Amino acid sequence: RPATFRVDVSALLAKLGEKKESLKFMKRRIQRLGPQWAAAARHLDRQLGDQGREQKRILVHMGFLAISSGDGFSSMVLKGGPLGEMVQWADILTALYILGHRVQVSVTIRHLQRILGKPYARRSCPASGFLPFDLIYTDYHGLDQIEEYRGISLRTHKCRIRVIDTFGTEPAYNNKEYAFKHGYRSSWGHRKLDSKQYMTMFPHTPDNSFMGFVVDELNETEKLDISRNKINNMTVVYGKEISMWERKEHFFKVLHRHMEIHGTVYSTDHPYVVPAFVHNHGLLSQKDLQQLLKKAKLFIGFGFPYEGPAPLEAVANGCIFLQPKFHPPHSSLNHIFFHGKPTSRELTSQHPYMEKHIGRPHVMTVNFSNLQEFEETIQEIMRTKVEPYLPFEYTCEGMLERVHAYIQHQDFCAPIDPFPLATIPSPFILLSNSERFTWDPDVKAPPSWPPLRSLQALISQPGHSCITACEGIGMVCEPTFFRFINNKQAFDTLKVPCKVLEGEVNHIFPAVKRQLLCSVQKDPRLFSCAGLSAGYQRLCPCRDARHGQVALCQDCL
Ligand code: U2F
């Protein structure tokens, strides 16, 4: 059955009950952004032309709202608790619905069982047989709940699962035995999924799929209004929870010398934490927060929360985002918040996406421990004029395009043909700079998404990851391509004089040490863009990317 775009979200709203604060928040968001989603759907529909799309039956089970410990998220919605997750789930639901799929939603164990059948109802929904969904979007909590309360193993159906995983899961954490043996312990991970089945909030590592969320897009009149009404000395502090304001007095003092400070912190009875000169608006609705940001010149973060949606919203409304640089970087090795998370990613600032993908003049990342540098940056910001800026990948159309592409092209159920380790003649052709190769257009390429014509492979600098190596040539690491270059011919094409060629189970392979010891990967689940090790040069598969849409290659739609 073909999927047809929808432009009216009211039937989706009816699927979400009224019981939980979290759901009410999501409904308000879906309703508010409805017209923008509809416009994006019309545009994408025209762009895709008569490309057929198949309608999928999709279960969306938000496990974090169903946790037995009392749904901590919902109770904190009105008290400054995390809203980033709710923002993302609301947008995922809308994208799936607008794309025309059959979406069922569950936020309680009871409902999940009603949809999937209780453990004893094996005949209607046997463990290894029929599952009435093509795809299940859930989170780590949801995975446990589906296994535990339905009493089935997900093994048979795991290729249909998509895990919404805010901070990401790197391949080294995906397999319990491997992770424990090599010191990649975590509280999560260990699911042995394809790493692309994990879907993140920002494009943290290309090992995972970047799902994202959306930010209100402004029309030309709104942009004009912003440039007329900006108040050059108005700051909004990033932090809706009181702990995010603690021990910041010295910064507020400096800031207050130049600017009027506004906050949207939930609590009002902490006069020593929120100074009297701060205009605290209390927690605002998303709509009202956007209005405040439209007037403000500066949105300032003090280190926490990490990687939330609000800085993108601020920059989209014409603010400059100022944030602290982290030296040394924060990660699961040295920071309690990331401890136990299945990633070794290092955050060089509060929001590395803002720092690296957007940067100056919209985003300023400075050393906050130097108060003079801090003050000079405030003065520089007051002199700098910026226009509202929103990367395409965070618009409704950007998200629709991406989710559409994933649904149509990502297939983790199809058996993967082992690519022959040595095909003669070699399918690779050196590019003119002779440090990279691509797939020879005269050799028939095996089916692949992204298509192999976007491949460019190279050898990294010693100790660098493939993420860094590909970024160095303006490209993106593409883990799907590892299986095609995990062979001797790839090393030969790049003239690496391998004295030894071994097959090993290690997430940094394929790689070479001292130009002589070449190793290929024996476990395809461990192909990793993020992996690195001192002394090793990675063999890296890179690809191009669509403008403003890092998740998709140019020919990926
Ligand atoms: C992040 O979660 P947070 O909820 O702390 O992220 P924020 O960037 O603060 O904002 C989330 C949304 O809250 C909204 C705002 C954002 O879309 O419009 N909001 C609001 O409605 N009213 C207000 O007064 C202020 C903000 C991150 F997203 C999570 O994944 C992490 O778990 C968490 C901790 O790092 O940080």
pLDDT in tens, 85-107: 999 999 999 999 999 999 999 99
Instruction: State in Å: Cα 312 to ligand 1 middle.
Output: 11
Amino acid in the structure at residue 379? Q
**Contact call for residues 302 and 238 (beta carbons, < 8 A):** yes
Nearest atom (ligand 1) to Cα of 201: 30
Residue 177 · residue 525 · CB < 8 Å: no
pLDDT for res 123: 45
Query: Would you say the ipTM is above 0.90?
Result: yes
| Closest C-alpha to ligand 1, atom 1 | 308
pLDDT band with cut points at 50, 70 and 90 for residue 121: very low
364 and 320 in contact (C-beta within 8 Å)? Answer: yes
Ligand 1 centroid, distance to 308 Cα (angstroms): 5
For residue 290, how far is its CA from the centre of ligand 1 (angstroms)? Answer: 13
Residue ranges lining ligand 1, Cβ < 6 Å: 82-85, 87, 166, 201, 240, 264, 283-284, 286, 289, 305-310, 313
Q: How far is the CA of 109 from the centre of ligand 1 (A)?
A: 26
Mean local confidence (pLDDT), 54-64: 96
Q: Kindly give the pairing relationship between strand 102-106 and strand 57-61.
A: parallel
Report the nearest atom of ligand 1 relative to the CA of 281. Answer: 24
- Over residues 367-382, mean pLDDT: 97
Residue 117: pLDDT band (50, 70, 90) is confident
**Nearest-atom index, ligand 1, CA of 81:** 4
User: Which residues partner with 341 through β-bridges?
Assistant: none
Tell which one of 240, 345, 351 to mutate to probe ligand 1, the residue whose CB is within 8 A of the most ligand atoms. Answer: 240
What pLDDT is stored for residue 468 in this prediction? 98
Task: Provide the pLDDT confidence category of residue 384 given band limits of 50, 70 and 90.
Answer: very high
Beta-bridge mates of residue 199: 164, 209
Rg (CA), the chain: 24
Q: What SS3 state is found at 447?
A: coil
pLDDT tens digit string along 186-223? 988 888 899 999 999 999 999 999 999 999 999 999 99
- Residue identifier of the C-alpha nearest atom 30 of ligand 1: 84
Measured between alpha carbons, how far is residue 237 from residues 121, 264, 274, 303, 387 in Å? 52, 8, 11, 11, 20
Ligand 1, atom 33: closest residue by C-alpha: 305
The Cα 60–Cα 50 span in angstroms is 28
Q: What local confidence, expressed as pLDDT, does residue 352 receive? A: 98
Mutate to test the pocket of ligand 1, among 24, 83, 87 (most ligand atoms within 8 A of CB): 83
Which two structure tokens, joined as six digits, stand for 120? 């004893």
Tens of pLDDT, residues 337-371: 999 999 999 999 999 999 999 999 999 999 999 99
Question: Which pLDDT score is estimated for 51?
Answer: 87
292 CB-near residues (< 8 Å, 6+ apart): 236, 262, 264, 281, 284
Give the Cα separation of 6 and 169 in Å (integer). Answer: 32
Distance 305 CA to ligand 1 centre (A): 8
Residue 267 scores a pLDDT above 80: no
Task: Please check whether residue 396 is in contact with residue 217, taking contact to mean a CB–CB distance below 8 angstroms.
Answer: yes
Closest ligand 1 atom number to CA of residue 85: 30
pLDDT at residue 442 greater than cutoff 50: yes
Mean pLDDT over 54-62 rounds to: 96
Choice between 506 and 268, residue whose per-residue pLDDT is larger: 506
Q: What is the pLDDT of residue 70?
A: 56
Q: Is the pLDDT of residue 114 over 50?
A: yes
The whole-number average pLDDT for the span 232-239 is: 97
Q: What is the pLDDT, as a whole number, of residue 56?
A: 97
383: burial class by Cβ within 10 Å (0-12, 13-18, 19+)?
A: exposed
User: Are the C-beta atoms of residues 417 and 437 closer than 8 Å to each other?
Assistant: no
Report the pLDDT value the prediction gives residue 151, as an integer from 0 to 100: 58
418 confidence band (pLDDT: 50, 70, 90): low
- pLDDT band for position 415 (cuts 50, 70, 90): confident
Both structure tokens of 65: 């709202």
Amino acid at 530: A
User: If you take atom 20 of ligand 1, which residue's CA is the nearest one?
Assistant: 286
Does pLDDT of 130 surpass 70? no
Cα–Cα distance measured from residue 187 to residue 547, given in angstroms and rounded to the nearest whole number: 36
Q: Which atom of ligand 1 is nearest to the CA of 264?
A: 24
Could you give the CA distance from residue 272 to residue 275 in angstroms, rounded to a whole number?
A: 6
Residue 161 has pLDDT above 90, yes or no: yes
Which pLDDT band holds residue 82 (cuts at 50, 70, 90)?
Answer: confident
The alpha carbon of 95 and the centre of ligand 1 are apart by a number of angstroms equal to 20
CA atoms of 401 and 44, how far apart (whole Å): 7
Quote the crossing angle between the two packed helices 220-229 and 286-295, to the nearest 10°. 60
Q: How far is the CA of 264 from the centre of ligand 1 (A)?
A: 11
Global pTM reads 0.96
Look at residue 268 in the predicted model and tell me its pLDDT: 62
Closest CA to 87 of 43, 15, 33: 33
Q: Could you tell me the CA-to-CA distances from 150 to 69, 144, 271 in Å, in that order?
A: 19, 10, 49
Cα of 215 to ligand 1 centre, how many Å? 12
pLDDT tens sequence across 280-332: 999 999 999 999 999 999 999 999 999 999 999 999 999 999 999 999 999 99
From the CA of 284, give the closest atom in ligand 1. 24
Using the predicted structure, report yes or no on whether residue 125 has a pLDDT greater than 70. no
Tell me what pLDDT residue 164 has.
98
Q: Closest Cα to atom 15, ligand 1: which residue? A: 310
Give me ligand 1 centre to Cα 345, in Å.
21
| Residue 75 binned pLDDT confidence (cut-offs 50, 70, 90) | confident
pLDDT above 90 covers a percentage of the chain that reads: 80
SS3 state of residue 136: strand
Q: What is the spatial distance between Cα 12 and Cα 296, in angstroms, rounded to a whole number?
A: 34
Ligand 1 center from residue 83 Cα (angstroms): 5
| pLDDT grade for 255, boundaries at 50, 70 and 90 | very high
